[in-house]
Amino acid sequence: MKQAQGDKHMIAWFKIAECVSRGEKERALGVYRLLSHSFNDKAVANQLEGDINCAFGEYELAAPLYASAMQVYSKSERFLEAVAVCEHLIAINAEDTHLHREAIKLYNELGNMRKAHEHIEKVLNNVFAKGQEHQVQEFLAFLCGISDGLHGYAVQCIDKR
């Protein structure tokens, strides 16, 4: 019985992909709604609905779904999934410093300091490019609350300017 249910899920995933490839958004969302009742994972459900909207260029509908998925992944300590969704959101809206801050927190949780440093540099570059130097102290306080090492790295980046 379990194999039959797995096969039905597989068919549903392929059906969604087929609908998206043919440009049938409403049909893809209909199949998604049927499929979503069978998962017990709100994060995956939100991410999939966001993916469908994103595939049709409807980023304003996708963004809150991705944000919700990211929060649920984070709360359940699935940091790798959370940061993947966060990076996708950043690809949609690279100027959103809040998303870069989320990425910094998630990469810190994962112990990936190289990626955390990349996002620190992006935030600082954005702040200085927009002439918003007044936000630097607040950003440094945010980093200090996460990690002394990340705070120190940001100070070094600022000193190099």
pLDDT single digits (tens) 94-142 = 889 999 999 999 999 999 999 999 999 999 999 999 888 889 999 999 9
Q: What is the pLDDT of residue 1?
A: 40
Give the pLDDT confidence of 17-38 residue by residue, as tens digits. Answer: 999 999 999 999 999 998 888 8
What range defines the domain where residue 12 resides?
Answer: 1-81
Share above pLDDT 90 across residues of the chain, in percent, rounded to a whole number: 78
Of 38-42, 44-48, 79-83, the poorest mean pLDDT is in 38-42
From 55, 81, 107, give the residue that closes a domain: 81
**2 pLDDT exceeds 80?**
no
Share above pLDDT 70 across residues of the chain, in percent, rounded to a whole number: 94
Q: CA torsion sign, 92 to 96 to 97 to 101? A: negative
**Residue 61 binned pLDDT confidence (cut-offs 50, 70, 90):** very high
Is residue 158 included in any domain, yes or no? yes
Sequence-distant contacts of 66-75: CB under 8 A, at least 24 apart: 66/92, 68/42, 68/43, 69/42, 69/43, 69/44, 70/102, 72/42, 72/43, 72/46, 73/43, 74/106
Is residue 88 included in any domain, yes or no? no
Is residue 89 included in any domain, yes or no? no
Do 2 and 77 share a domain, yes or no?
yes
From 81, 102, 118, give the residue that closes a domain: 81
The span from the CA of 125 to the CA of 104, in Å, is: 15
The span from the CA of 91 to the CA of 126, in Å, is: 15
Do 77 and 5 share a domain, yes or no?
yes
Does the pTM surpass 0.95? The reply is: no
Do 140 and 107 share a domain, yes or no?
yes
